[in-house]
Amino acid sequence: MNLYKINRYSVYIITILMVFKTALMEFNIDMFIYFFTFLIIVANLFEFIFKGKIKSSISSVFILLIYSIFQLALTSIYNNVMYSLFSYMAVFLYILFWVLIINNQSSSLNYSLMKGYFKLNIVLGIVSSILAIYQYYFDPSIFNLVVHNVYGNEEILLQGNVLRRTTALIGSPQSFSLYMGMVFGIVLFTKFPRKSIKLILLAVLFIGGILSGSRMFTVFIVILFLGYLFENRNRLVKFLKPTYFILFGGIITLPFLELENNNTVIRLLDFIGNWPALMIFFENFKFDSFYNVIFGHGLGYKDRIVYNFFGYEYQSVESYILLLLLQQGIVGLVLFINIYTRAFYNSILKNRFVLYLLIAFLVNQLFVPAFSGLTFGFLGWGIIIYALSINRDYKDDPKTLE
């Protein structure tokens, strides 16, 4: 088996494990994913050393990785380098995984890999949405496979003090809603043999995302729909046929049924009046010194994965971008902006489908910490790095998946 096939299957395996992670927690699945990812990185690292070439299109990611390694020696939380090292392993390991694979392969192989990756996520997304619908209306624990102490516990939800939200088997409402938004975008821009199939899939994903109770799902969907309408502006009248109104009217109405007075759907539209995350965001926007402003407090600072593992009390900063600034300072933020600017520019010219996913990702990164977790440390960064490497050596429609 050649390295390309190994990379392809490893991407698919890790994706499946990430999406259904909570069902496998008793098998210490996180450590298995780390170890498996590390093995694939080693295999690709040898290939990278042998070729000795970095694609200019993704060189910006290598610079961020090098700066992050530099931070391991430069700063660390509570002067303990183990915290920084653990943080690096938790998130940057997956960035290194993707960047080595995409750097080592040709544009056509990367396109084939990501096309399969998108199609796999359509299947996984539909299954996850169905599980979420079942979780919301019938069994919050999904046959005791959900490990969330709140949203997987029927007794707590029945007390009426906690909003009923869905997580499926991904782990949290935020990660689940972000995943539903991502897959919704993939389906929206994918060509299907029959439009009815596409509409049914969109309906299932929409309901699953709505039941997550996440405001960012609303933002994600609005961005994707505006992008879709813009790309299909010449066919706008056809798109707005009465059948579409009827179908999407039904989609929007269905989740309002049997809400058990917990305002799950209403929460999706409440961005200012009752949004504790907004206050948390501003409370955490502070630095101890000029040094911290430039270089940050170090990897692991206010990182959920690190704090939970070492038993520290954790309070989310409610923003991946803010967390990046706190950990890596202005230098790290500038490097991240450089990556995103290149990805945007490349997508505008070569693949508008990916462009709208990137825009939706960026808005979520501003107000949601999901990208600092394991799931979207892998799922999301794969698309960002792919956007940097898109090439038209192959014939494809830049507005769609195919």
**What are the tokens at 124?**
């996984």
Q: Let me know if residue 394 belongs to a domain.
A: no
**What are the tokens at 53?**
């070439």
**pLDDT tens digit string along 268-288?**
555 455 555 555 555 656 666
Residue that wins the pLDDT comparison between 183 and 272: 183
Residue found by looking up tokens 């991502």 in the block: 182
Residue found by looking up tokens 């935020």 in the block: 174
**What are the tokens at 159?**
């007390």
Residue found by looking up tokens 């939380």 in the block: 77
Q: Let me know if residue 209 belongs to a domain.
A: yes
Residue found by looking up tokens 């996984």 in the block: 124
Q: Let me know if residue 22 belongs to a domain.
A: yes
To the nearest 10°, report the CA torsion of 24, 34, 38, 369.
120
pLDDT at residue 118, as a whole number: 94
State how far the Cα of 142 lies from the Cα of 151, in Å rounded to an integer.
11
**pLDDT tens digit string along 295-304?**
887 777 777 6
| Angle 83-84-90 from CA coordinates, rounded to 5° | 90
Please give the residue range of the domain that contains residue 112: 3-389
For the ranges 92-96, 186-190, 233-237, the one whose mean pLDDT is highest: 186-190
pLDDT at residue 370, as a whole number: 78
CA nearest 88: which of 13, 38, 19?
A: 38
State how far the Cα of 11 lies from the Cα of 23, in Å rounded to an integer.
19
pLDDT at residue 261, as a whole number: 40
Q: Let me know if residue 396 belongs to a domain.
A: no
Q: Provide CB contacts within 8 A for 182, sequence distance 6+.
A: 121, 125, 220, 357, 360, 361, 379, 380, 383
Domain count along the chain:
1
Rounded to 10°, the helix 173-188/195-210 angle is: 160
CA nearest 168: which of 184, 187, 146?
A: 146
Q: Let me know if residue 402 belongs to a domain.
A: no
Lowest-confidence range among 4-18, 63-77, 121-135? Answer: 63-77
Count the residues in the chain.
Answer: 402
pLDDT at residue 152, as a whole number: 60
Q: Let me know if residue 398 belongs to a domain.
A: no
pLDDT at residue 281, as a whole number: 56
Contact indicator for 210, 265 with CB cutoff of 8 Å: yes
CA nearest 240: which of 227, 255, 229, 250?
A: 229
- For 217, 221, 281, the CA distances from 214, given in Å and listed in that order, are 6, 12, 16
pLDDT at residue 17, as a whole number: 94
Lowest-confidence range among 65-74, 186-195, 216-225, 336-345? Answer: 65-74
Contact indicator for 176, 212 with CB cutoff of 8 Å: yes
- Other beta carbons within 10 angstroms of residue 24's beta carbon come to 15
Q: What is the mean pLDDT of residues 210-222?
A: 84
Helix, coil or strand: residue 62: helix
Q: Which amino acid is at 131?
A: L
CA nearest 103: which of 68, 51, 66, 63?
A: 51
Work out the mean pLDDT of the chain and round it to a whole number.
Answer: 78
Q: What is the mean pLDDT of residues 36-50?
A: 90
Q: Let me know if residue 218 belongs to a domain.
A: yes
Residue 237, pLDDT > 90, answer no
- For 19, 147, 163, 376, the CA distances from 176, given in Å and listed in that order, are 9, 14, 16, 10
Q: Let me know if residue 400 belongs to a domain.
A: no
